[in-house]
Amino acid sequence: MTQDPAAEVPEFPMARRCPFDPPSEYAKLRETEPVSRAQLPDGTPAWLLTRYADARAVLAHPTVSADITKPGFPPLIPIQKDIVKQGHKPPFMRQDPPEHTVYRRMLIPEFTVRRMKVLRPAIEQIVDDQLDHLLAQDRPADLVAHLALPVPSLVICRTLGVPYADHEFFQDKTGILLSFDSTPEQVAKAMTEIRAFLGDLISEKQRTPDDDLVSSLVHNHLEKGEVTRENLLATILLLLNAGHETTANMISLGTLALLENPEQLAALRADPELVGPAVEEMLRYLSIGDIVPARIATEDMEVGGTTIKAGEGLIALLGAANWDTGVFPSPETFDIHRGARHHIAFGYGVHQCVGQNLARLELEILFRKLVSRVPTLRLAAPVEDLPYKRQGAVYGLHALPVDW
């Protein structure tokens, strides 16, 4: 079944109903037209998938490609188009097997649950120090600036093996990359400086290896000629970008979800062992990477009774899939007891988030400590006035004023 080409095509991305719900159009589409046409800001058409089963089927489909250089690929953020125009090789996240598989094989052993366990004491220390720092601020204080952004930054520093003396430089530059207020010139300058910094870090780890991710990648892959220096640098940069803002947004919005659902917060405080299920429910409920999994069909295929032609773009809407009433009853209810682990907030298929074990560990440690150490935490501004990140590929908060 194909659609009537004369029918009106809605614009995409659709507006999110803050603070938590995905766009209201998703539920209507899932009911009436679960595989439907939309148009991106640059005019590129794409199919939107709003059912959990269809999203998973497409993301796991062998003839569906994540290669942004393919003509017709739906570009969600302008930088994706620039990469293609400038003839740069896209990061492995936007490549297909077999190239993509080389990087997955390289990274998966670095992010196993076992490897993450080794990081636990260091992450606990980082979270405790950062909570001390937040609590030392004048009240009300911004939880984004003093907790949500610095924690992932310090954790990434520790994971990669950035020396402590360079933390400030590193945080300063990544702060510029992630800030809404930075000018394009500031971003370009910070990017050049970070690339130079990572180049030096790779050389340093070649000379003096340590027990960290960059040393491991240098020793196991660069020195064996399995990856070029440039591709290793691009991969480290991707880890940095993919892991930083996402986790920061989950910390700030997850805190807000708990504060806005006091009975759930009380349940978590009463039984800290619920923190794992609570984090899974936050991931499902917030689905901050809703529009990230863009793809293109390389062969004609059928999805939920609709024919998708080779060369047509697809977007598996994670927020829609994770709010599919057939899979998650009453999805608008934030319920830490629901058992949400089968959500697809980390994507699905070969591109499923490589850093998910690290993200889970960070979030579990952070929420366990936040709930126990700051029992009087409360919002210091009306929830409807908060500065939500309405633009961009990942949903989040620019600031979260809190008191205690």
Interface ranges with ligand HEM (CB under 6 A): 66, 93, 104, 238-239, 242-243, 246-247, 250, 288-289, 292-293, 345-347, 351, 353-355, 358-359
The nearer residue to ligand HEM, 55 or 134, going by C-beta atoms, is 55
Residue 6 or 76 with smaller CB distance to ligand HEM: 76
Closer CB to ligand HEM, 274 or 286, in the complex: 286
Q: Which is nearer to ligand HEM, 135 or 257 (CB)?
A: 257
Q: Which residue number places its CB atom closest to ligand HEM?
A: 355
**Which C-beta is closer to ligand HEM: that of 140 or that of 175?**
175
* Minimum CB–partner distance for residue 205 and ligand HEM (Å): 17
As measured in angstroms, the least distance from the Cβ of 244 to ligand HEM is 8
Q: Least distance (Å) from ligand HEM to the CB of residue 95?
A: 8
CB closer to ligand HEM, 151 vs 301 = 151
Q: Whole-number minimum distance, CB 345 to ligand HEM, in Å? A: 5
Cβ nearer to ligand HEM, comparing 239 with 327? 239
In the complex, least distance from residue 355 CB atom to ligand HEM, rounded to whole angstroms: 2
SS (H, E, C) the chain: CCCCCCCCCCECCCCCECCCECCCHHHHHHHHCCEEEEECCCCCEEEEECCHHHHHHHHCCCCEECCCCCCCCCCCCHHHHHHHHCCCCCCHHHCCCCHHHHHHHHHHHHHCHHHHHHHHHHHHHHHHHHHHHHHCCCCCEEHHHHHHCHHHHHHHHHHHCCCHHHHHHHHHHHHHHHCCCCCHHHHHHHHHHHHHHHHHHHHHHHHCCCCCHHHHHHHHHHCCCCCCHHHHHHHHHHHHHHHHHHHHHHHHHHHHHHHHCHHHHHHHHHCHHHHHHHHHHHHHHHCCCCCCCEEEECCCEEECCEEECCCCEEEECHHHHCCCCCCCCCCCCCCCCCCCCCCCCCCCHHHCCCCHHHHHHHHHHHHHHHHHHCCCCEECCCHHHCCECCCCCCCCECCCEEEC
Closest CB 12 distance from ligand HEM, rounded Å? 16
Task: Find the shortest distance in angstroms from Cβ 139 to ligand HEM.
Answer: 28
